[in-house]
């Protein structure tokens, strides 16, 4: 999907703007991915916290419940510190809340991806690719290479901090000091 999208974007741009179009495409993909992860992750965490707050048994201390609601790892560490009879309930509730949050974010991401795919298909259907030849047009021919005259004498250019040491017309540091 990413390759097809980038190809469509770059081929829709004029040839002299293809590099800029590719850069904008890549930036948009990275920004969209980061925003998607942030938004879906926030939704998953919100669902986890709300489900776990409702499912924790009454015997769990308030501070311990707050740590368990923060992350699944917090819930696992809290369960390890509680007495044996009380430890299994918060751990099972945390696992169930995490699973529900994960399922919701997976469904939301699938729905968003499907909606974007349909929207892109509908909106970009009429966009012609500029790199493709129009019907009836002949493809451009590549001109024959032109021979370039080679200089008779090869010159090696050596650059240093004080300028070009072998460039005609430039003075060397030793020439200036000796003068």
DSSP lists the bridge partners of residue 174 as: none
User: Which ranges in 58-143 belong to alpha helices (H)?
Assistant: 62-70, 72-81, 84-123
Locate 19 and state its tokens: 């590099």
Mean pLDDT (the chain, rounded): 77
What is the average pLDDT across 54-83? 81
With a CB cutoff of 8 Å and minimum separation 6, the contacts of 104 are: 43, 44, 47
Q: Give residue 125's pLDDT.
A: 78
Single out the residue of 94, 106, 96, 95 nearest to residue 37, CA to CA: 106
Q: Give residue 168's pLDDT.
A: 56
What does the alpha-carbon distance between residue 65 and residue 52 come to, in Å, rounded to a whole number? Answer: 9
Q: Is the pTM of this model over 0.95?
A: no
Q: Give residue 160's pLDDT.
A: 55
What is the average pLDDT across 72-83? 82
Q: pLDDT digits over 79-132, tens only?
A: 888 777 777 877 888 889 999 999 999 999 999 989 988 988 888 777 665 555
Higher pLDDT, 36 or 88: 36
159 pLDDT band (50/70/90 cuts)?
low
Higher pLDDT, 102 or 143: 102
Q: Give residue 133's pLDDT.
A: 47
């Amino acid at each position: 999907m990413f390759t097809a999208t980038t190809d469509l974007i770059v081929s829709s741009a004029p040839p002299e703007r293809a590099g800029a179009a590719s850069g904008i495409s890549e930036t948009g993909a990275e920004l969209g991915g980061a925003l998607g992860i942030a938004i879906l992750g926030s939704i998953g965490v919100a669902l986890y916290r709300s489900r776990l707050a409702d499912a924790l048994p009454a015997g769990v201390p308030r501070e311990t419940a707050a740590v368990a609601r923060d992350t699944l790892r917090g819930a696992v560490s809290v369960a390890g510190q509680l007495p044996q009879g009380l430890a299994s309930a918060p751990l099972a509730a945390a696992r169930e809340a995490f699973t529900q949050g994960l399922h919701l974010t997976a469904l939301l991401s699938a729905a968003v991806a499907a909606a974007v795919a349909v929207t892109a298909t509908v909106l970009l259907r009429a966009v012609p690719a500029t790199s493709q030849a129009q019907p009836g047009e002949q493809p451009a021919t590549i001109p024959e290479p032109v021979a370039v005259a080679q200089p008779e004498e090869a010159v090696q250019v050596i650059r240093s901090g004080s300028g070009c040491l072998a460039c005609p017309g430039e003075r060397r540091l030793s020439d200036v000091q000796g003068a």
